[in-house]
Structure 1
Amino acid sequence: MFSKFAYSIFEQSIKDYHVYNNVNQPINNPYPKDKIEHLLYFKNWIDTIQWHYEDIIRDPNIDPVAALTLKRKIDASNQERTDMVEYIDSYFLQKYAHVDVKSSAKINSESPAWTLDRLSILALKIYHMNEEATRTEASQEHRDKCQEKLNVLLEQRTDLSTAIDDLLSDIENGDKFMKVYKQMKMYNDDDLNPILYQNKK
């Protein structure tokens, strides 16, 4: 199943990141650039870096200048994440281009790549919740609560994985069709964000 295949790559990316656990470390993507594995690994690496950016920026003692710099990095990471989702959807569009779509076919609320985006984030939640559930210096109460949350996340993984595989099967069989909208983010665009274009005058 594709969801299991993708999740294993997400897990590998997360494991590789935590060897050094440093947001400034360069990516060492082990897969060839023309393979879907490369895109999936890259996608999760972006998510993993951003996960830790979000941790850092919540430090109550962070220097304001450093926080602003980090906010810019988070914005750039968000754009990169969106771009990567679109690359992955392009893979699926090409893969299923030959499918004879049935007249009764329906569109899904999310494209395949956006469902995989959710699975990538879920892999990070599971990794870090497991860390908390097994953190020896934490109280037993803390570990028990985190284990309960981890159990829910694992159930969610099962449900989401099933939904992803069902969607891909429906697309392959012509029961659903893909329609991808390019993301039209406005806040980074000099011509669409009022703050930015007013400052250009």
Structure 2
Amino acid sequence: MFSNSAFKIFEESIDKYHVLDDVSQSFSNPYDKDSIEHLLYRKNWIDTVQWHYEDIIRDPEIEPSAALVLKRKIDASNQDRTDLVEFIDSYFLKKYQSVEIKEDATINTESPAWAIDRLSILALKIYHMQEEANRTDATPSHIEKCSAKLRVLLEQKKDLSTAIDQLLVDIEAGKKYMKVYKQMKMYNDEELNPILRGQK
């Protein structure tokens, strides 16, 4: 199923990142640039780097100037993340463009790519909660709490994966249809953000 393949790619990306565990490390994509795998790997790498940006910026000792630089990186990362989601939805729109939509077809509350975005973040939560559950320097209470949270995350993975796969099956069968709205984020646009517009 698609969700299983996607999750394996997310795990591959996360494992690769943690070899160096450095937000400044170079990025290389092992998949063909025209493939959905390429998009999924890139998407999760962005999520993984941003996960660690978010850890770093919460350091109470961080210098304000360094925090500002990091905030700009997080903003850019969020834009990249949104762009990748839209690229992934474009893949599905093209894949299912010839499907005959049934008269009683319904629309889903989110597009396939935004559900896949949630799965990518969930892969990161599972990886890091597993790390916490495996810590040898933590208290038994910490290990127990993290193990319980990990079980919930794994159940969520099962449910979300099932929902994604069912959505794709329904789209392919014409029971659901895709209607993708661009995010139209205003705060990065020099014409739409009054602060940026005033600086022109």
Whole-Å Cα distance in 2 between the matches of residues 47 and 167 of structure 1? Answer: 23
Deviations 1:101-151 (A, max 9, x none): 001101101000000000000000000000001111111110110000000
Q: What corresponds to 2:162 in structure 1? A: 162
Whole-Å Cα distance in 2 between the matches of residues 30 and 136 of structure 1? Answer: 34
Whole-Å Cα distance in 2 between the matches of residues 165 and 32 of structure 1? Answer: 23
- In structure 2, list runs of 5 or more residues that go unmatched: none
After superposition, residues 15-34 of structure 1 pair within 5 angstroms as 15-34=15-34
Q: What corresponds to 2:194 in structure 1? A: 194
Single out whichever of 169-178 and 190-199 deviates more from structure 2: 190-199
How far residue 199 of structure 1 moved from its aligned partner, in angstroms, is 2.7
Counterpart amino acid of residue 189 in structure 2? D
Counterpart amino acid of residue 2 in structure 2? F
Q: What corresponds to 2:71 in structure 1? A: 71
Ranges of 4+ aligned residues in structure 1 off by more than 6 Å = none
TM-score after normalising by structure 2: 0.99
TM-score after normalising by structure 1: 0.98
1:86 aligns with 2:86: yes
Q: What corresponds to 2:124 in structure 1? A: 124
Whole-Å Cα distance in 1 between the matches of residues 15 and 155 of structure 2? Answer: 21
Counterpart amino acid of residue 180 in structure 2? V
Please, what is the CA RMSD of the aligned residues?
A: 0.6
The share of aligned pairs that are identical, in percent, is 70
Q: What corresponds to 2:41 in structure 1? A: 41
Q: What corresponds to 1:184 in structure 2? A: 184
Q: What corresponds to 1:103 in structure 2? A: 103
How far residue 26 of structure 1 moved from its aligned partner, in angstroms, is 1.2
- In structure 1, list runs of 5 or more residues that go unmatched: none
Whole-Å Cα distance in 2 between the matches of residues 66 and 36 of structure 1? Answer: 35
Q: Secondary structure at the match of 2:146?
A: helix
How far residue 189 of structure 1 moved from its aligned partner, in angstroms, is 1.0
Whole-Å Cα distance in 1 between the matches of residues 27 and 102 of structure 2? Answer: 42
Q: Secondary structure at the match of 2:186?
A: coil
How far residue 190 of structure 1 moved from its aligned partner, in angstroms, is 1.0
Whole-Å Cα distance in 2 between the matches of residues 77 and 142 of structure 1? Answer: 31
Q: Secondary structure at the match of 1:124?
A: helix
The aligned length equals 200
Counterpart amino acid of residue 30 in structure 2? P
How far residue 180 of structure 1 moved from its aligned partner, in angstroms, is 0.6
Whole-Å Cα distance in 1 between the matches of residues 22 and 166 of structure 2? Answer: 36
